[in-house]
A and B are shown apart, each in its own frame.
Chain A
Amino acid sequence: MRIITTFFLAIIAIVSGVVVLLGYFLPGVPLFVTLRVAFLNWLMILAAVAVFVGIANLFSVHTQKLKNKKEAAYSVLLLVFLLGTFTLGLFQGPTSPAMDFVFLSIQIPVETSLMALLAVSLLYATIRLLRWRANFMSITFIITALIIFLGTAPLPFLGPVPFFSDWLRPIIAQVPAAAGARGILLGVALGTLMTGLRILFGADRPYGGK
């Protein structure tokens, strides 16, 4: 049974993928284009459905946690707010004032605060970086960072640092940084291409099987 499924799963993945690719690269062939659009729309729906699977997963994990006393309280909290928010959205709609309230009073502050936490982490990283890795890259990295810091914001109550803000920063940000970014971007694109191909070859089958 599993054999059959494994085999056909791979077929499904490969066929659907190849069809969509053809739809992208052969805009002249209406069949593929239509199929691509259709498949992408299905993907859209499936992605939405997957959200519920994810919620179910979240739910089951935390209901299991209820068993052990230690984290039970937190899990209860999570489940309550999960269900509460969802039911609220269910009846009021996600754009209702009630949902806006929840969003503004909980999601925004917590997320931005989590972001804010990073400020300290990043500073902590900079102060330690050279202690761990005093190599060419790290030193270049730190020096660049310092230059950009100096060039981006003026010294408090004093004003912009001459040379850095009006000449050095723009140059660095627009030439070498952009160049490196382009290089990395391309590399990542190549990697993405290969990863995608591995999937379409059925060599990687995250949907189970291998």
Chain B
Amino acid sequence: MQPVDIILGLISCILTIMVLSYLVGDNPLFRIAVYIFVGVSAGYVGAVALYQVILPKVIMPLVDSPLENLPVLLVPILLSLLLLMKMFPRISWLGSASMAFMVGVSAAVAIAGALIGTIIPQFIAAIAPFGLEDSTGIGSIVENFAEGTIMLLGTVTTLAYFHFGVKSSASGTGSTNPVMRILGLIGQFFIAVTFGVLFTGAYAAVVSALIGRLYFIWSYILSFF
């Protein structure tokens, strides 16, 4: 094992233990590790942003052929400069234009993502299993139909459970009608099941991380023998 790896492993092990010390309680060791980590990750992201976005997307084109690229890049550069004003509280209001632009575009991205990405495709997917003629593979027609029905029930009731509006009553609390309550109950079941599965998945993920850490420490110790 080369010295570099030894140092690397050593630092990693120490930091791992420092972080895990949080299990005992908040303590300086944990703090140190965390602050180092925050600093490093921020610096790293900054470097990446500079090297893999600013340079190739802005600087390089201007260096290569300023004349033809400048007009194209004029607006983004202007917006970027305004955005940088946000660093200075006194003139930070200058940057608001850039923020408004970002917010507007990102809102559009979110809307498009929700519609094109989820709502319509999921609608198609939800009714797909009922196309019995094109049921394929192991899924026999009956199986497809049963599965499709349960999926449909789950999707519908889950959506129904989240219904916010209630008939407004004097108390202001509103009252849900029995049908809604039943749908909601079924929906709750599906939601709970989904969460249960997701929870175990999350546990699997974090436990894998724990195992990975322990394994790393152990193999590092072993590497000296």
Contact = CB atoms under 8 A, between A and B. Distances in A.
A/B: CB atoms within 8 Å of each other? yes
A56 interface: yes
A13 B100 contact: yes
- The A interface is mostly helix, strand or loop, or mixed, namely helix
B132 interface: no
Interface residues of B, number: 114
B114 A183 contact: no
A116 B53 contact: no
B44 A89 contact: yes
A208 B96 contact: yes
Classify chain A: how many residues form its interface, as a range. Answer: 35 or more
Contacts of A200: 104, 107-108, 111
A149 to B, nearest CB: 5
A176 interface: yes
A49 B107 contact: no
29 contacts: A20-B104, A24-B116, A43-B102, A46-B83, A46-B98, A50-B83, A52-B87, A74-B32, A79-B39, A93-B47, A94-B47, A106-B11, A109-B15, A109-B213, A112-B16, A113-B213, A137-B188, A175-B147, A177-B193, A179-B151, A180-B155, A182-B125, A184-B194, A188-B118, A189-B114, A189-B119, A195-B107, A197-B107, A206-B103
A74 B23 contact: no
Interface string B64-76: 0000000000011
Interface string A175-201: 111111111111111101101110110
Given A94-B52, A106-B15, A175 B150 contact: yes
Contacts, number: 412
B99 to A, nearest CB: 4
A75 B35 contact: yes
Interface string A50-77: 1111111110100000000000001101
Nearest to A6: B96
Interface of A: 2, 5, 8-10, 12-21, 24-25, 39-58, 60, 74-75, 77-90, 93-95, 99, 101-120, 122-123, 126, 136-138, 140-145, 147-149, 152-153, 172-190, 192-193, 195-197, 199-200, 205-208
Contacts of A136: 185, 188-189, 192
